[in-house]
A and B are shown apart, each in its own frame.
Chain A
Amino acid sequence: MKKSKGFWLFLILSILGYGITQVLISSGMLNPFYSNMLINIAINIILAVSLHLVIGITGQFSIGHAGFLAVGAYVSAILTMKLLLPFPVALIAGGLVAALAGLVVGIPTLRLRGDYLAIATLGFGEIIRIVFLNIEYVGGAAGMQVSHFTTWTYAFVCLFLTILVIMNFTNSRHGRAAISIRENEIAADAMGINTTYYKVVAFTIGSFFAGIAGGLYSHNFYIIQPTNFGFLKSFDILIYVVLGGLGSLSGAVLAAILLTIISTFLQDFPETRMIIYSLVLVIVMLYRPQGLMGTREITDLFGKRKATKGGGSYGK
């Protein structure tokens, strides 16, 4: 009962939020700079939340997320620009192909653990980038022209669905299995949880939403290039998850909002931006390694104190 009340509250609040911003945009009170920032925030939240599912919930340390972003971006761009399909179809197709890529990458690599998994996913991310660099059909290193299709409505709908799906996944039986893998993989295995299955499922879902974000990302700029999807992009996404708190969905969302705003205003000073990012990363890890929110959600701050979802021994 309580859970469904929370759900309706979330639904009403988000529709309200969408309505207000949409009115502001269409009445011209929010200038293009800010509406573009809103779209960027939405894309980064989708990326952060999809990586949160892999790192924060399942505990699999993947640092090649930009590779799946690239797959979604390129596939959807090819569908709209070369095959002239409608944008929503291209978005979903981008997500599906990215999910397929996630499946293909996940099955062999998720047998690895910790540092090795991180390095393998980094390698796969780079391989995906190098593949796009070598395909002349998508423009090689020069990049590919893409029309501007992403609107606030598209970005919002995708964001809403992403958060809904990942929240429900986390609270489902599958999500609890994934959390048990995060807490202790060997113990989870001993309890009869099919760890490989849940790791691959979480990884594939994460890749799917990264692909959706990729579609939004490519149609929000006028050109996409393989260099946009190097591991600096992966680290950007990683920073959202780490700063927000490994295991906190609302933390990832808040960090994505905060850092996107900061980086939008530091656009003209890319070095300063990266210095701030890296300093934040190091200082958070040295003084608060569980991130700003830890495994708590923002809703835990209100209302009654309830049993925690477990945690504390993250990633040992």
Chain B
Amino acid sequence: MEWVQQLINGISLGSIYALIALGYTMVYGIIKLINFAHGDVFMVGSFIGFYAITGFGLGFVPALLLSMAACAVFGVLIERIAYKRLRNATRIAALITAIGVSLLIEYGVIYVRGAQPEAYPNVFPNATFDLFGAKISSQSLFILLISVGLMIILQFIVHRTKIGKAMRAVSHDIDAARLMGINVDRTISATFAIGSALAGAAGVIFGIYYTKIEPLMGIIPGLKAFIAAVLGGIGIIPGAMVGGLVLGVAETVVSALGFSLWRDAAAFIILILILIFKPSGIFGKNSREKV
């Protein structure tokens, strides 16, 4: 039952990607900016969780909540300091700024604490379950449960609360939303806060699953989460979840077939194929560009 096991591994990995991808897709949906720094928020969240568990001796759930809260604040700060001035700037200027912010966070963290990796503490018992003959670790199960829980909460926020309604309105038409009395700045901040909190949670989960964290770890998962967002259709929340899961499973399959060195290439090849054949993503609709 090798296949079931690989599938579960792929889904666990994919749910981490999906959590990060949600932040990308929400921010892109509202201000049309690829927030390159999002992968670094994920890294910062992972470190906050690490220090909370080893330094303050917190349990897993308090550490997760602390990391999410701190990342939410961090994400809002990034938006206020770096991106707010760029609302009316060209897309390329915004993209370059995001790249700059991303490098600044990475090397800022290295400057503060050094580049050495840390071993993440193990907070779960190392139990394995048998499912149709496949061995499933308790960790993958927890990851899955937490990710699914967070995604359900997100769906609730976006579709059932006032701020969620405001977010959908701003993403649909920012000027019309402003005319209708929606506080656009506050809505954008809320989007960054929610997206960054999810990235922080993903950081803690990633640390527990892979047991090793380092200051540059945000780059590759960040890019892959972005690929997941594009795959599902950027700006579409269910798309990010599906894209993350598809990417995670695809990567696990490539590794399981014995091409583990090509794993990262697989993600980029998926990206390029989707960009060439259906740039709007699996769930996207085509829209004509106006002059």
Binding site for B on A (CB under 8 A): 61, 63, 108-109, 111-112, 114-116, 118-120, 122-124, 126-127, 130-131, 133-134, 186-187, 231, 235, 238, 242, 246, 271-272, 274-275, 277-282, 285-286, 289, 314-316
Contact = CB atoms under 8 A, between A and B. Distances in A.
Nearest to A275: B107
Given A282-B101, A286-B82, A109 B275 contact: yes
B268 A278 contact: no
A111 B279 CA distance: 10
A74 B268 CA distance: 21
Contacts, number: 120
B82 A282 contact: yes
A108 B272 contact: yes
- Say what secondary structure dominates the interface of chain B: helix
Contacts of A280: 100
A131 B265 contact: yes
B226 A274 contact: no
Q: Which are the 10 A-B pairs with shortest beta-carbon distances?
A: A281-B100, A278-B103, A123-B268, A282-B100, A278-B104, A274-B107, A289-B93, A130-B265, A285-B97, A315-B92
B103 A186 contact: no
B107 A271 contact: yes
B217 to A, nearest CB: 14
Interface residues of B, number: 44
A178 to B, nearest CB: 16
A238 B97 CA distance: 12
Given A127-B269, A242-B96, 19 more contacts: A61-B92, A109-B275, A112-B276, A114-B91, A116-B275, A116-B279, A118-B95, A122-B223, A123-B272, A126-B268, A134-B262, A271-B107, A278-B102, A281-B96, A285-B86, A285-B96, A286-B82, A286-B85, A289-B90
Contacts of B227: 123
B145 interface: no
B282 to A, nearest CB: 15
Contacts of B223: 122, 126
Given A112-B275, A116-B275, A127 B265 contact: yes
B103 A277 contact: yes
B99 interface: yes
For A108, A109, A119, A274, the residue with the greatest tally of chain B CB atoms inside 10 Å of its CB is: A119
B39 to A, nearest CB: 12
B100 A278 contact: yes
Given A108-B276, A109-B272, A112-B275, A285 B104 contact: no
Interface in B233-264: 261-262, 264
